[in-house]
Amino acid sequence: MSRLVVRPETEIQATANSLHFDLERRVTGAPPGLCPLDLASSYLKVYSSQTCGKCVPCRVGLKQLEKLIDDLIEGRGDMKTVDLIERTAETIYASADCAIGYEAANMVLKGLKGFREDYIAHATKGHCVAEGFQAVPCVHLCPAHVDVPGYIALINAGRYADAVRLIRKDNPFPSVCAMVCEHPCENKCRRNLIDDALNIRGLKLYAVKNSGHVPVYREGEHAAEATGKKIAIVGGGPSGISAAYYLGMMGHSVEIFEQRKKLGGMLRYGIPAYRLPREILDEEINTLLTSGDIKVHTEVSIGGDSYPLSKLRSEFDAVYIAIGAHTDKSLKIPGEDAEGVMSAVSLLRRIGDDNYPDFKGKKVVVVGGGNVAMDCARSSVRLGAERVIIAYRRRLEEMTALDEEIRAAEAEGCELFELVAPLKVEVGDDGKAKALWVQNQMISFIKDGRPTPKAASHEPVRLEADIIIVAIGQGIESYNLENVSMNPRRGTINILDSEQIPDMDGVFSGGDCVTGPATVISAIGAGKIAAANIDEYLGFNHPIHIPVDIPAPVPHNRPACGRVKLRERSVDERIKDFSLVEESMTAEEMIQETERCLRCDKFGFGTFRGGRENKW
């Protein structure tokens, strides 16, 4: 008889592991709008099933917590129940032996803090604040609330131009977003319950590649009757152009004031052409400007003595400020003013103006871990750099850049140095940067849901560098906007829910200058909101409606199927130019991917709500 034996995985263990994986998928696919008390009760059941039963707080306390929350759900509780839930959870958190108990209690305490209004509503009214509404996940999570199931159905039917028109009802930039959107719509896709989220952005790319030119209006269609109202838009980026597009459709006269030579904002001056070709951007912008009476003024700065904001406001019936976030943030380390040290904003702005610097034979270090840092690193490779290092003070998993951008940068030869923080720039006698000295970091305590780094007890490391690019975020240029309410901590513009600036009648603001550097689709969504509220402020209620019939869903078994991923040009080829890297799906892949859609607009809760908003 052997002392030790190899025990293969039993059928019971394999089944249990499979069920755990299924549960993980269900949590990932949990839709927005669920009752937070139901969630807490369900999670407590999972935690209770894991308890060993050794300690009373876990063995007895979790069951009591579950019962108290169920009492609230079933209408048997009151405000005393809410207080008892809180006290019980605090006791378990303080006294449970292991993480199964105290983390279960912590989950309840987090819910009480974040969803207190829902707990109170259950105690006093018997239901949640939201009254159980569960939106279609992809539509709800898109900042512009684009009708995703609708345009996927149109793509499946081969009606690509109609798909583009439907997207434009809520998002004027289908081509741009097909290439650079961070696709939050995919995060809670219910297809996760079966296999993996749909490649929604990839399907949009297929539609715009195959639709041909799609004008704003079809034959016989036109903008609403002229209102006689004039709106000024400060900033010609995605938010400003989106607002102009919809306001033009509503019949208002719009004038865009842009500081740079061309429209586009960070679409042109922050995203390289290998991700967003300039000819596609220009064509989309030119199309959108045909939605109504829209005039464009470039190389004009609003604010200061030359053109005060107060003067602009006096000349127009309303103003929308969408100036984005285009200023640099510095490292504040010695030697940063040396020749060869530049900001990401300045580099990408030069590239946006087709003024490409020569990095041939240079050693480049990019400081930062976001999409902008990846753009700078990948651009440096194309500009001829001999070596490109991305230096980031946290770990790879904490990088804010999209996974696909990180993978692409590494594939193109960029080296990733994790857990290093800049100390100083080594400057030669000629005043040029010679190296970046960094301090190794170690990961430490979690703050605001994110592990924080701290200096490790290692000697500083020298990274040889001729070019150092600082890509650690951007700020906004607001110092010339008199009387604009600012958030002193974040350096952004304060607004009301309507996007109107407090104490500034008729002046609205949105996009990155309000949120800080965010995503293209968030800026577009802000422009849509601004257009609706400016229209209402001016005394109108123009609906935006695109008359497109959506194909009815065809029920079938929807077997488990892998997600189609977009191909890319070979690395050897693409690093030599700034041409588009991604390639579209094939027709065969498009059909397979569109048929994975579960049509949540028609099945499940979508049935009760009609699944979509035909106008706004």
Q: What is the pLDDT of residues 169-205, one digit of tens each?
A: 999 999 999 999 999 999 989 999 899 999 999 999 9
Least confident of 42-56, 215-229, 278-292, 448-462: 42-56
pLDDT (tens digit per residue) in 399-411: 999 999 999 999 9
Residue 605: pLDDT band with limits 50, 70, 90: low
**Which stretch, 25-29, 149-153, 327-331, 612-616, has highest mean pLDDT?**
149-153
Measured between its terminal Cα atoms, the distance across the chain in Å is 76
Q: How far apart are CA 88 and CA 479, in angstroms?
A: 51
How high is the mean pLDDT of the chain? 92
Q: What is the mean pLDDT of residues 347-354?
A: 94
- What CA–CA distance (Å, rounded) separates 129 from 115? 9
**Among residues 511, 239, 272, which one has the least CA distance to residue 372?**
272
Domain 34-125 indexed as CATH 1.20.1440.230: yes
Residue 514 near residue 500, CB atoms below 8 Å: no
Please check the confidence at residue 483 and state whether its pLDDT lies above 80. Answer: no
Closest Cα partner for 146 from 159, 136, 157?
136
Q: Scanning the structure block, which residue is given the tokens 């009476």?
A: 293
Please state which CATH number belongs to domain 328-475: 3.50.50.60
Q: Which distant-in-sequence residues (6+ apart) come within 8 Å of 57 by Cβ? A: 91, 92, 95, 96, 97, 101, 105
Q: 1.20.140, 1.10.3470, 3.30.40, 1.10.1060: which CATH number matches 137-214+552-609?
A: 1.10.1060
Q: Residues with Cβ < 8 Å from 353, sequence gap 6 or more?
A: 261, 269
Going by C-alpha positions, the residue among 185, 180, 177 that lies closest to residue 141 is 185
Residue 388 has pLDDT above 90, yes or no: yes
The domain locations on the chain are 34-125, 137-214+552-609, 230-324+483-537, 328-475
**Alpha carbon distance 335, 596 (integer Å):** 54
Average pLDDT of the segment spanning 257-272: 95
Pairing mode, strands 467-470 and 230-234: unpaired
Structure tokens at 346: 């300045």
Looking at residue 607, what is its pLDDT?
53
* Residues 6 or more apart whose Cβ sits within 8 Å of residue 162: 154, 548
pLDDT tier at 327, thresholds 50, 70, 90: confident
How many C-beta atoms lie closer than 10 Å to residue 547's C-beta?
A: 12
pLDDT tens digits for range 7-21: 888 888 888 888 888
Name which of 57-66, 436-445, 598-607 the model is least confident about: 598-607
Under the phi-then-psi rule, with left for phi > 0, alpha for psi from -120 to 50, and beta for the rest, what region is 340?
Answer: left
Q: How far is CA 428 from CA 137, 201, 422, 437, 466, in A?
A: 55, 47, 18, 14, 10
Report the helix count and the strand count for the chain, using DSSP H and E.
24, 18
Give the residue carrying structure tokens 């270090």: 365
Max avg pLDDT among 56-70, 114-128, 413-427: 413-427
The pLDDT score that the predictor gives to residue 131 is 53
261-289 mean pLDDT: 97
Compute the distance between CA of residue 320 and CA of residue 500 in angstroms, rounded to an integer: 9
Each residue's pLDDT tens digit, 31-65? 767 788 998 999 899 888 888 888 898 889 999 99
Measured between alpha carbons, how far is residue 96 from residues 108, 284, 332 in Å? 14, 59, 45
Q: Assign domain 230-324+483-537 to its CATH superfamily.
A: FAD/NAD(P)-binding domain (3.50.50.60)
The answer to whether 230-324+483-537 and 328-475 have equal CATH topology is yes
Question: Does 608 have pLDDT greater than 80?
Answer: no
pLDDT at 612 over 90: no
Per-residue pLDDT reduced to its tens digit, 294-323: 999 999 999 888 889 999 999 999 999 999
